[in-house]
Amino acid sequence: MVPPLQEYSIGNLLWIPRTQCAVHDVIELPSLVGKLRETIKKIDGDFVKRLQGGEGLSMISENVKEMVDLCSGGPVDYYGFTSWSKFGIYETDFGFGKPVWVSSHKISGSMFMNLVHMLETREGDGIEVWITLDESEMNMLLGDQEFLAFVSVDPSPTD
């Protein structure tokens, strides 16, 4: 951020960037990643200045309205992504030592469906990902051999 936040700042900066792909779009993973990257690149220093300034409330209201419009227009498959990477969570000592394993609250309910939650591993050499999908989509994902070649499903947090 410009100017940067103070060292001990805490709180949430909320913005819901979105990338849309229509059902009839034939899109491969690299082009989807490109679309996502373009969306996220729009959240830069100038954007944050506008958000912090006089336009902030109207920008947030418009963003929420667009999400409501998108979701109320008929069935929509929505996938959310969030990351706790680079937060230094595994380096934080809350008075009883550094954590062995960090997790979120119990992730359940429709609010958390289709959510991909990323966090760096304790060693900092990889990414742990929690994925919440409905049962049929999860079964499809867990049956995808290409996906399984890159992941460890349900590893022990102490390994």
So where are the chain's domains? 1-75, 79-159
Q: Which residues are paired to 83 by β-bridges?
A: 118
For residues 19 and 25, the answer to whether their CB atoms sit within 8 Å is: no
Is 79-159 in CATH node 3.40.50.970?
no
What is the C-alpha to C-alpha distance for residues 127 and 125, in angstroms, rounded to an integer?
7
What is the C-alpha to C-alpha distance for residues 90 and 143, in angstroms, rounded to an integer?
32
The structure's pTM equals 0.68
Spatial neighbors of 100 by CB under 8 A, at least 6 apart, are 122, 157, 158
Predicted confidence pLDDT, tens digits, the chain (159 residues): 666 767 776 665 667 778 877 777 777 778 888 888 898 888 888 888 888 888 888 888 888 888 788 777 777 777 888 888 888 888 888 799 998 888 766 656 555 678 888 888 888 888 888 888 888 989 999 999 988 998 888 777 666
Q: Cα 137–140–145 angle (5° rounding)? A: 145
